[in-house]
Amino acid sequence: MNRSPMNSDSRLGLARWLVARTRRLVPVLGISALARIGSQLAGVALLVIAADAIAAAAGQLRPHLGVLVATMVGVALLKAALRYLEQYCGHWVAFGCLQRLRELFFSRLLPQAPAATTGRAGAELTERATRDIDRIEVFFAHTLPPALSAVLVPLAALCWLAGRSVPLALTLAVPVLVVLAIPMVAGSVGWRAARRVAQGRGRLAEQLGDDLNGVREILAFNAGPGRLAALDEADRQLVAIRSRQGVLAGLRTGAISTVQAGGLIAVMAVAPVCGAGLGPTLSALAVGIGLWTPTRGVDDFVQGLDDSFAAAARVREVIEAEPLVVDPPEPVDCAGEPGIAFDRVDFRYRGTGRETLEEVSFQVSPGSWTRVVGVSGSGKSTLAGLLLRGWDVESGSVRLGGVEVSAMRLDELRSQIAMVPQHPVLFSGGLADNLRLEAPQAATGLLERALAAVCLDDWAAGLPAGLGTPVTGRGAGVSGGQLQRIAIARALVAEPAVLVLDEALSQLDGATADRVREGIADWRAGMTVVEITHRADLVPDASPVVVLDAGQVVEAGLASQLRQAGGPFTRLEARG
């Protein structure tokens, strides 16, 4: 997608984008800003009241102690109440906006998957969905109120001080302007550093995710030292970037402190020259000290704001990415029998330059159990992805029930087809919650029938809390074969017209796999099953077979006929 620099990379463009997507929550942020301004003015007032009391005492004027205490207590309570209101409103807006951004993130990521997520580490996407979005809180909760108060509070305080001494007010105005200008001058450098830090965090998260997912392979190939060295290098680069960012922040903070202290010294130097008395001088010092926090507001949030914008840019990249697969403008529903047809299909994955499928044509009869066989990398799983429109074909057509899958709404298409991958995932929650993933209202009896179909009914009955027994995100506590069968049961509960098993029985012994196939066949009359497998030797003679090799259909027919022909299917069968 083409965007102008203002719309994509600039902080102003990102600010507009964030506000546009959370506009309904922004008015409450105005309340937070007003409360902050009032709270900080009350803080300045407390110091001025104390300074006036000291000046009065020094001038032999005894202030009424009760009135003084009551006034200061009242102002302090007002300051505390306004501070609470500021924090409450600011964080209410911030957390509401973060919720909205997460909803946008996942709602836009789902239609992009798997095409837009293939090849991207899950940990890196998780980093964007969690920590990056959390960092955006700074923009909502700690940006607009401090920015407004940094300007309006000094303006109001200095205008009041000018009523007592214009020279002292002008003297304080200079350091105030310099303190406000320092973060702005250093802003572009900080912005570039923040973006580099965000990118470094993403790379580190990506490598950690890869290493955790591939820990078995790393141990098996003794690749641990190399992977640790690469991780150490990525961490070293991130530390170096953060160190430069810290040096910049330290220099900025030191400059601001020096300017603020210089402002107080300047007041004491100018006061005798302009003839200001003790009262105006103490009031000017009180105002100067009282403005330290408001004027530092810009610097306090500028570093966090740069980090926030860098995170927003990474989140925006996902939210505004164009889905590679979209609903057609005039969708067509599938009303025919659930037969499948691939007609002269060509396809290559984006950026590979090599065709994954070439001139693939075959048909799957409604209600049949068809095997698609071939060695790893022959394109079998790609066929399943095209059937579900994870990707769209480059040429040719894929039809379900006589209707082009690209002419169907994605929700409708995917409600007709359930796919069980070789390595399924269980989501945190109870066993029943996982089985109801596609059908939240499914009755308990249906869940029990599905488990019985995959030979897990006795296992489920022995669980401590039955169907309510918690399962973990990666299926810990269940074997690989049980995990695959739970995934198949989950697909059956959805009652699809087509069931695709992508090596989904690979971790079962032969006898158990046959019993599961019988349960699937008995589950629903007329359901079409496509089983993707490399085990040609286990295909029964009566099964229709499509043999795929290097992205092309090299043989098709009944398994018994292909065995007699002695061609590619027989050679694949001999490999076992």
Read off the pLDDT of residues 332-347 as tens digits, 9 standing for 90 and up: 887 778 899 999 999 9
Is 515:445 a contact under the CB 8 Å cutoff?
no
Do 353 and 312 lie in one domain? The reply is: no
Q: Report phi then psi at 548, rounded to 5.
A: -115, 135
pLDDT average, residue stretch 199-228: 72
Do 347 and 466 lie in one domain? The reply is: yes
> What is the reported pLDDT for 346?
93
pLDDT in tens, 365-382: 999 999 999 888 888 888
357-364 vs 340-347, strand pairing mode:
antiparallel
Residue ending a domain, among 260, 286, 319, is: 319
Q: Indicate whether 251 pLDDT > 50.
A: yes
Q: Indicate whether 107 pLDDT > 70.
A: yes
- Domain of residue 553 covers 340-575
> What is the reported pLDDT for 80?
96
User: What domain count does the chain have?
Assistant: 2
Distance CA 338, CA 322 (A): 30
Do 509 and 565 lie in one domain? The reply is: yes
With cut-offs at 50, 70 and 90, classify the pLDDT of residue 2.
very low
Q: Which of 62-76, 281-295, 341-355 has the highest mean pLDDT?
A: 281-295
What is the CATH classification number for the domain harbouring 200? 1.20.1560.10
Q: Report if residue 332 sits inside a domain.
A: no
With cut-offs at 50, 70 and 90, classify the pLDDT of residue 115.
low
The whole-chain average pLDDT of the chain stands at 84
| 3-class secondary structure, 530 | strand
Distance CA 191, CA 530 (A): 52
**Is the preceding peptide bond at 5 cis, omega within 30 degrees of 0?**
no
Q: Indicate whether 405 pLDDT > 50.
A: yes
Q: Indicate whether 469 pLDDT > 80.
A: yes
> What is the reported pLDDT for 17?
85
Do 94 and 184 lie in one domain? The reply is: yes
Q: Indicate whether 36 pLDDT > 60.
A: yes
Q: Report if residue 334 sits inside a domain.
A: no
| pTM given for the model | 0.67
> What is the reported pLDDT for 123?
60
> Any idea which of 331-345, 470-484, 541-555 has the lowest mean pLDDT?
470-484
Do 352 and 307 lie in one domain? The reply is: no
With cut-offs at 50, 70 and 90, classify the pLDDT of residue 179.
confident
Do 367 and 235 lie in one domain? The reply is: no
Give the percent of the chain with pLDDT over 70.
89
Q: Indicate whether 253 pLDDT > 50.
A: yes
CA distances from 337 to 499, 530, 552 (A): 14, 15, 26
Q: Report if residue 392 sits inside a domain.
A: yes
Count of CB atoms within 10 A of residue 214's CB?
14
Residue ending a domain, among 259, 290, 319, is: 319
Is 205:182 a contact under the CB 8 Å cutoff?
no
Residue predicted with more confidence, 247 or 282: 282
Do 245 and 377 lie in one domain? The reply is: no
Do 380 and 307 lie in one domain? The reply is: no
CB burial of residue 286 (10 Å; 0-12, 13-18, 19+): buried
Do 302 and 393 lie in one domain? The reply is: no
Residue ending a domain, among 268, 288, 319, is: 319
Residue predicted with more confidence, 147 or 576: 147
Half-sphere exposure of 38 (CA within 13 A, CB side): 19
pLDDT average, residue stretch 90-114: 81
> What is the reported pLDDT for 4?
37
Q: Report if residue 438 sits inside a domain.
A: yes
Do 483 and 562 lie in one domain? The reply is: yes
> What is the reported pLDDT for 45?
94
Q: Indicate whether 203 pLDDT > 50.
A: yes
Is 240:182 a contact under the CB 8 Å cutoff?
no
> What is the reported pLDDT for 497?
92
Do 415 and 555 lie in one domain? The reply is: yes
Residue predicted with more confidence, 469 or 112: 469
| 3-class secondary structure, 359 | strand
Q: Report if residue 328 sits inside a domain.
A: no
> What is the reported pLDDT for 6?
35
Residue predicted with more confidence, 287 or 113: 287
Q: Indicate whether 475 pLDDT > 60.
A: no
CA distances from 421 to 46, 247, 418, 509 (A): 68, 50, 10, 17
Q: Indicate whether 232 pLDDT > 90.
A: no
pLDDT average, residue stretch 95-117: 77
With cut-offs at 50, 70 and 90, classify the pLDDT of residue 513.
very high
What is the CATH classification number for the domain harbouring 427? 3.40.50.300
Residue type, 77: L
> Any idea which of 19-23, 342-346, 400-404, 542-546 has the lowest mean pLDDT?
19-23
Tokens encoding 289: 């000290």
Do 428 and 297 lie in one domain? The reply is: no
- CA-based R_g, the chain, Å: 34
Q: Which residue has the tokens 């109870």?
A: 430
Q: Report if residue 325 sits inside a domain.
A: no
Q: Indicate whether 81 pLDDT > 50.
A: yes
498-502 vs 552-558, strand pairing mode:
unpaired
Q: Report if residue 329 sits inside a domain.
A: no
Q: Report if residue 202 sits inside a domain.
A: yes
pLDDT in tens, 5-17: 334 457 778 888 8
